[in-house]
Structure 1
Amino acid sequence: MDIKQLKFLVALDETRHFGQAAARCHVTQPTLSMRLRQLEEELGLELVRRGQRFEGFSAEGERILAWARSLLAAEDGLLAEAAACRGQLVGTLRLGVVPLAAFDPMHLVSLFAEHHPSLNFQLHALSSEQIIEGLGRNQLDLGLSYLDRLDRQHFACLELGEARMGLLFSPRHFPFSSNSLSWEELATVPLGLLSSGMHFRQSIDHSFRARGLSPRVRLQTDAVHQLTRAVSAGLCCSIMPLQSGDWPAAPHLRLLPIEDAHTLAPMGLIRRRGAPDSPLAQACFSAAEQWLAHHALDR
């Protein structure tokens, strides 16, 4: 058994396709398949269900896969720890971000890059549940997510402030003249919103229901860029965080505050507690903690 076989196994889980897993690992598909069969023979277990294409993992394969992830995370941690002992911080920080986060993730990435110039970054757009799962399985180093359902015993967090909402619209199609809008006014406007299972959408639905209102939902999607394109085309307006890096600062779009509009929970930076502890996550979390403390003193 070697570390490459474990990387092949994890790549297959993430892509769910033999060819894509081979391409990700920079080997041919026959090589990847052969090495996985050698791993199965060495362990005496069938790990992968095969037909004409990938059909999933066996129950035993799922258990081995969890160990493979832990070993790969330990290898990453070992290399990062060795670099830290040399006075360096190198590697790739994996950051999960919820759609329409009320805190621009680029603020954090820029902060981390300033403190640790050798770092690279991977950003993943995920739901709150997927971020918690990814942190728990060591697939992510940090998460930018909502804090309402966070288990504080297993996860540390830095609260980043309240997420307030505004209406994104095109003045060419919706000539609002006021400086803010009420939920009653929003109920008459065609809206493009995130899919109903997402946290930001749940906060919007709650605000309408609490006032006995029903929104005019013209478009639903799980892709933020589709919302902004629909707004630009005049198909609808959309409810967005007032502070966010998700929507472009297009000159023809405006963001108007909504009265008494905020998400059901604050936004926060999250990291997993306990071993194996990522030096990258620890260093970047500490940098964010210092940055927040400094800005709190400035206010």
Structure 2
Amino acid sequence: MNIRDLQYIIAVAETRHFGKAAERSFVSQPTLSGQIKKLEEHLGVAIFERTNRSVEVTPIGEVILQHARQIMEQVDAIEQVAQAHHDPLAGPLRLGAIPTISPYLMPLILMPLKQDYPQLRLVLSEEVTDTLTRRLQQHEIDAALLATPVEEPELETMPLFDEPFWLAHPRDHAFYNKEHITREDLETTELLLLAEGHCLAKQTMEVCRLKERSTRGEMADLRAASLETLLQLVGAGFGSTLVPALAMRGSWATGSGIVTRELEFPDAYRRVSLVYRASFPRIEALHTLARVIHDHLPNTVTPIDAVGVRG
């Protein structure tokens, strides 16, 4: 067994295809297939279940792959330790972010990060919370920007900032003539929500004290896949919704026919954190990223210092 064998089985597990895994590994398919077969014979177990149509990981294969990913992270850590001797911030940092953060925060920090730390290269991916958490656990990314707490014991959390929610509604909405929006107003109105899987939908329901999604009424079947689509529905007069403060900088905020106002509830916010594996060896790179984020946050959010105190 060698490192190359582990790289091969990880490639097959991630692509679910021997040919694609061989291309990714820069070897021929017979070479890759032969090495994996030798590894399975050496271990006395089948890592993959092969059919004419698919490649699936066996239960014992999942356990082996978990160890393989941990080993490859340590191999990468060895290389990074050597690299850090010359430059502790050098190399790629694989960062994930949820879709309701990434489009609004990344434009604020990418250029400053590139200018101040040109040797640190962000590799970005945008996915929902559950997917990012799973990818963190499987060592596919190094850290993730999330807006919900994580309970997995192998993951650590670095709080960054608290982000208030704003109410967005059409100009002809009943809310337009109300000087103050109460929680009772939100509890009794129909709200547009993102589709299942987006943490913002759950957070909106929590702020509005909604126990479950509406299954009746005009809004019951409207489930947007992105915040931008949701806001287009608001602008078209289909209803109201809650918007995180960073998204208020989006292009939709002007000339869209949408009225916005900050909610005046003490708990109408979400906490955005940088989540990472406790075993991740490049903590200094994460602290650097956190500092850049803090330095370029707009005044619509409340930064949190290193010990979790709101600034």
Q: TM-score band (shorter)?
A: 0.7 to 0.9
- The percentage of counterpart residues that share the same residue type is 25
Q: CA deviation at 1:14?
A: 2.3
RMSD: 4.1
| Length-normalised TM-score, structure 1 | 0.75
Aligned residue type for 1:3? I
How many matched pairs? 294
Structure 1 residues 140 and 82 mapped into 2: Cα distance closer, same or farther (>3 Å)? same
Structure 1 residues 54 and 232 mapped into 2: Cα distance closer, same or farther (>3 Å)? farther
Structure 1 residues 213 and 226 mapped into 2: Cα distance closer, same or farther (>3 Å)? closer
**Is contact 1:190–1:237 with CA below 8 Å preserved after alignment?**
yes
1:241 and 2:244 correspond:
yes
**After alignment, is 208-217 or 42-51 more displaced?**
208-217
Distance 2:205 2:269 in 1: 11
Q: Which residue of 1 aligns with 2:272?
A: 267
5+ residue gaps, structure 2, are 297-302, 306-310
**Is contact 1:162–1:262 with CA below 8 Å preserved after alignment?**
no
Q: CA deviation at 1:18?
A: 3.7
Distance 2:54 2:179 in 1: 55
5+ residue gaps, structure 1, are none
Q: CA deviation at 1:92?
A: 1.9
Q: 1:53 is paired with a residue of what secondary structure?
A: coil
Aligned residue type for 1:159? P
**Is contact 2:159–2:274 with CA below 8 Å preserved after alignment?**
yes
Q: CA deviation at 1:224?
A: 4.0
Deviation digits for residues 173-215 of structure 1 (CA, Å, limit 9, x no counterpart): 9995778755555578765422244332112112333699968
Distance 1:228 1:39 in 2: 52
Q: CA deviation at 1:147?
A: 5.2
Structure 1 residues 178 and 25 mapped into 2: Cα distance closer, same or farther (>3 Å)? farther
Q: CA deviation at 1:242?
A: 1.5
**Is contact 2:156–2:277 with CA below 8 Å preserved after alignment?**
yes
Distance 2:224 2:35 in 1: 40
Pairing 1:54-93 to 2, within 5 Å after superposition: 54-87=54-87, 89-93=89-93
Pairing 1:1-299 to 2, within 5 Å after superposition: 1-27=1-27, 29-87=29-87, 89-101=89-101, 104-146=105-147, 148-150=149-151, 154-168=154-168, 176=176, 181-182=181-182, 191-209=191-209, 216-228=219-231, 230-231=233-234, 237-244=240-247, 248-249=251-252, 251-253=254-256, 254=258, 255-260=260-265, 265-273=270-278, 275=279, 277-279=280-282, 281-289=283-291, 292=294
**After alignment, is 120-129 or 62-71 more displaced?**
120-129
Deviation digits for residues 37-86 of structure 1 (CA, Å, limit 9, x no counterpart): 23323433211101112241112211221121112212221222211112
Q: CA deviation at 1:168?
A: 4.5
| Length-normalised TM-score, structure 2 | 0.72
Aligned residue type for 2:80? A
Q: CA deviation at 1:219?
A: 1.8
**Is contact 1:165–1:262 with CA below 8 Å preserved after alignment?**
no
